[in-house]
Chain A
């Protein structure tokens, strides 16, 4: 409890300025095109390591919705080295199994002999071996997620054993073996039921995505896919997805922890340098890779509204089409607008949740911006005794007030301060930072994350008024309205 006084205050100010400098990860690209970002953080016991491929459910071909997600699962089945008792014996059996399985799916009935081959394979295969290698060495947080535009694989590995990550990840990228295909489809089905089907509102949000974007749009289906199509997927389709998308030029790896960029680079060259430009034994194929990179022409959203009964709180989601992800311009102004509406001192809470004319149990706003398009969403859940039909008019009134009573300086300052503090919070956790850098890199470069913050600080009340006028137009919106069903009120 020594008095310290002014000196400490100065110190605080100095460190704040230092930390406010933009994050500068080391950045390098291997000859084969794979990109690496490294943030060295001495003293951390674990290295957060992620890699992302620039392909997610938006890349699922027609009739194979859910393919990207299934491939994500299959990549945990191992390689020619991991997951098998004897690859030489397993390989021909796997080929036979695949022929019989394809035949079974085509015929809609189990082909003769499939059972027996599966039994023989089961004796050779080692399910869980991939994670097992990691776990035995003390790695944690082994997980993957398929999003619309990307698929990300994460591991936390003890810093002394970071080479294991290079070994394991390059190994499965080099020669993955998609074993346990049928079982993995079953697990994917269980995951879907657990994540979506078991929540009454979850099913409706999935349908709303389809209605909002319109049939055939890359974002019209959830990354989990369509159960009937997942059930009919074949191993060949999974391999084809892998070969098309999992090329070094489409991969970004991020390492955050007690690891120097020099060491990371040496290990990256040794291990990931093995991956050919188009994947091993698949030639360079840069032309093809480019065609995959090209942003395809996609139609705008269909903007169809949806109404339904649901064993959930009465609620609405209102969506306005906006712009694809960008670290500036209208995209950032819309992000700031969401900030203005959210939090306890935000307009939604003040007007709809606790105000005189409150109607809501909860309300929030979000600007979702992806590679191929974005939307501004407002979600409102009905409060006690409030009918679902009261929610949209309440939002429209709020929107009217938003047009007339523009954001004042204090409000804008509040949002800026919150965004700045939030951006520091996001740097705190190594795994979170690794994920964010990978996501930003996929969307156009990791610098986007700092540029975004600078742009957000510049957003003015005029900018907000402009994006409200330009995008939040009643004529251009789609609405999901869910009304509580069942005996209980409301």
Chain B
């Protein structure tokens, strides 16, 4: 049968696409469904940014749908600003600012006021940022903002509450020793970053003992400053009125000129900055072409612990770039997605769960920090971490770890086929709307850009850059930033079964 004839026959027996009654027929396969092209673009940032009289940037995204307002104030301050012997101080300062009373209000009064508004105020700190969040009904916004300002400017760090918090931290430390995941975390970070790195230091009895009221107040005075801080507000607000009120409350916040803060300030310019001068940095010996991502102490370590499940972490230091628009950075985003994205594209999930049923969940994390060129050359080590975490039965721990290493080698050896890249790209692009899906997300995302030094244009080129990445690019990035022979593998589990 000629091809033309075959087409004619098909047309005769399969007219559903033209017959009006069957226009609504259900296609045989989902791939046959035709969709309008996605129209999603991140909303424009124009008109969202305001500045208070002290230069503090405020991103405002009104949404009158519900009588709620979210206010986020972020400072580029965190664990990385802690000195020796100050482990956990940034987090403790944030926690006690909220819990220890503020201004005229004692701790109990502050809690009462916040709760009576039906509001929530939280303060927390991580590696590179401290965040204060006010989440309130709009009718309580004004008082909520006053309380937020009071916590920011005049925390009392009540001594009795501090002692109670320290008691609780000691109890938590004990629980941490019981928790295999916490044990794994601690040990793996130590191997990856070295025992003296800030990245691997964790709270200890000694550091808890060092949390004195004066120490917290000093950290607060020195680091909670408007330099490079940002505010994001979303919800049931009028932008003009809100900014005027913020200006009254936060516009007079000045960068205190304090004694020894100068050096720290210079070093802290980048929110994603890593390391510090006294980290024992060897300087810029490492060639920029092949950054050393290997763990400080590569190798395999088993921590014997009875239990039905073994927890495993595999990996090394993360990647560091001096620009957000580095082609290897885009390639690594796709690589991470291919290795273990949340969709079905994940190679690790396919191997470990779908083929072998070895694990319920694999979690992969690849830090792709961006810092200034000066900080890169001054750094002694990579930024964050590249880590694969999974849990499996103790007797299959070795098999599972071998699968992970095999997949890492494969990324360096073989080019990823285009169809796999396409799926990963689609999956990454699909998550962009989620980053901007509500007013709160939009305000937060653009404020975060400013906090991190990430240009807003990043979102405009996001799609185009991911589309440009090829299999060769991914393999090149894998060879530069993944080092299967330099990984630290830690297994916490029953060694007898392993």
Chain A residues with CB under 8 Å of chain B are 1-5, 8, 11-13, 15-16, 19-20, 44-46, 81-82, 127-140, 142, 156, 158, 160-161, 163-164, 167-168, 171, 180, 182-187, 190-191, 193-194, 197-198, 200, 270-271, 274, 311-313, 343-346, 349-350, 353-354, 358, 361-362, 382-385, 410, 413-414, 417-418, 420-422, 424-425, 427-430, 484, 486, 488-490
B65 within 8 Å of A (CB atoms): yes
Binds A, one of B87-95, B134-142, B317-325, B456-464: B134-142
Q: Which residues of B contact A3 (CB under 8 A)?
A: 240-241, 244
Q: Is the CB of A424 within 8 A of B359?
A: no
Q: Is the CB of A140 within 8 A of B434?
A: yes
Interface residues in B, total, Cβ within 8 A: 90
Q: Which of A44, A132, A345 contacts B437 (CB 8 A)?
A: A44
Q: Is the CB of B138 within 8 A of A16?
A: yes
The residue on B at minimum CB distance from A128 is B344
Encoded as 1 (CB less than 8 Å from any A CB) or 0, chain B from 25 to 52 comes to: 0111111010111111000000000100
Please provide the chain B residues from 160 to 191 with a CB less than 8 Å away from any CB of chain A in the complex: 161, 164, 167-168, 170-172, 174-175, 177-178, 180-181
Which of A11, A44, A194, A349 has its CB near the most chain B CB atoms (within 10 A)?
Answer: A194
Q: Is the CB of A168 within 8 A of B30?
A: yes
Please judge, given known A-B contacts A136-B423, A424-B67, whether A1 and B243 are in contact too, CB under 8 Å: yes
Q: Is the CB of A156 within 8 A of B434?
A: yes
Interchain CA distance A377-B120 in the complex, whole Å: 24
Please judge, given known A-B contacts A1-B243, A46-B433, whether A417 and B392 are in contact too, CB under 8 Å: no
Please judge, given known A-B contacts A136-B423, A163-B35, whether A488 and B430 are in contact too, CB under 8 Å: no
The residue on A at minimum CB distance from B350 is A128
B85 within 8 Å of A (CB atoms): no
Interchain CA distance A14-B375 in the complex, whole Å: 51
Please provide the chain B residues from 105 to 143 with a CB less than 8 Å away from any CB of chain A in the complex: 107-108, 111-112, 114-119, 135-139
Interchain CA distance A186-B39 in the complex, whole Å: 41
Q: Is the CB of B26 within 8 A of A167?
A: yes
Q: Which residues of B contact A410 (CB under 8 A)?
A: 116
Q: Is the CB of A19 within 8 A of B307?
A: no
Encoded as 1 (CB less than 8 Å from any A CB) or 0, chain B from 348 to 369 comes to: 0110011111111100000000
8 contacts between A and B (CB under 8 A): A15-B236, A46-B437, A127-B350, A140-B434, A163-B33, A171-B30, A183-B357, A421-B136
Interchain CA distance A158-B171 in the complex, whole Å: 46
The residue on B at minimum CB distance from A170 is B26
Interchain CA distance A383-B168 in the complex, whole Å: 7
Interchain CA distance A158-B164 in the complex, whole Å: 48
Please provide the chain B residues from 53 to 103 with a CB less than 8 Å away from any CB of chain A in the complex: 64-68
Q: Is the CB of A344 within 8 A of B115?
A: yes
Please judge, given known A-B contacts A1-B240, A197-B307, whether A414 and B38 are in contact too, CB under 8 Å: no
Q: Which residues of B contact A160 (CB under 8 A)?
A: 35-39
Q: Which of A11, A12, A344 contacts B139 (CB 8 A)?
A: A12
B301 within 8 Å of A (CB atoms): no
B8 within 8 Å of A (CB atoms): no
Please provide the chain B residues from 193 to 252 with a CB less than 8 Å away from any CB of chain A in the complex: 236-238, 240-241, 243-244, 247
Nearest 9 Cβ contacts at the A-B interface? A138-B430, A135-B343, A186-B357, A45-B433, A417-B118, A421-B118, A16-B67, A131-B344, A127-B354
Q: Which residues of A contact B30 (CB under 8 A)?
A: 82, 133, 137, 164, 167-168, 171
Q: Is the CB of A198 within 8 A of B430?
A: no
Q: Which residues of B contact A200 (CB under 8 A)?
A: 178
Q: Is the CB of A354 within 8 A of B433?
A: no
Q: Is the CB of B423 within 8 A of A414?
A: no
Q: Is the CB of A139 within 8 A of B430?
A: yes
Q: Is the CB of A132 within 8 A of B345?
A: yes
Q: Which residues of B contact A137 (CB under 8 A)?
A: 30, 35, 426, 430
Instruction: Return B230 CB to nearest CB of chain A, in Å.
Output: 18
Q: Is the CB of A271 within 8 A of B26?
A: yes
Interchain CA distance A354-B111 in the complex, whole Å: 12
Instruction: Return A133 CB to nearest CB of chain B, in Å.
Output: 5
Please judge, given known A-B contacts A131-B344, A161-B35, A198-B308, whether A15 and B118 are in contact too, CB under 8 Å: no
Instruction: Return A260 CB to nearest CB of chain B, in Å.
Output: 15
The residue on A at minimum CB distance from B181 is A198
The residue on B at minimum CB distance from A419 is B118
Q: Is the CB of A187 within 8 A of B353?
A: yes
Interchain CA distance A248-B180 in the complex, whole Å: 44
The residue on A at minimum CB distance from B137 is A421
Q: Which of A128, A138, A140, A424 contacts B68 (CB 8 A)?
A: A424
Encoded as 1 (CB less than 8 Å from any A CB) or 0, chain B from 393 to 432 comes to: 1000000000000000000000000000001001101110
Q: Is the CB of A81 within 8 A of B29?
A: yes
Interchain CA distance A484-B139 in the complex, whole Å: 46
Interchain CA distance A429-B66 in the complex, whole Å: 11
Q: Is the CB of A128 within 8 A of B138?
A: no
Interchain CA distance A285-B237 in the complex, whole Å: 54
If A129-B344, A197-B308, A385-B167 are given as contacts, then 14 extra A-B residue pairs at C-beta distance below 8 Å, sorted by A number, are A1-B243, A1-B244, A13-B139, A16-B138, A16-B236, A45-B433, A167-B26, A167-B33, A182-B357, A185-B357, A186-B357, A198-B181, A361-B171, A417-B117
The residue on A at minimum CB distance from B141 is A12
Q: Is the CB of B64 within 8 A of A312?
A: no
Interchain CA distance A350-B115 in the complex, whole Å: 13
Q: Which of B167, B243, B393 contacts A190 (CB 8 A)?
A: B393
The residue on B at minimum CB distance from A125 is B354
Instruction: Return A189 CB to nearest CB of chain B, in Å.
Output: 8
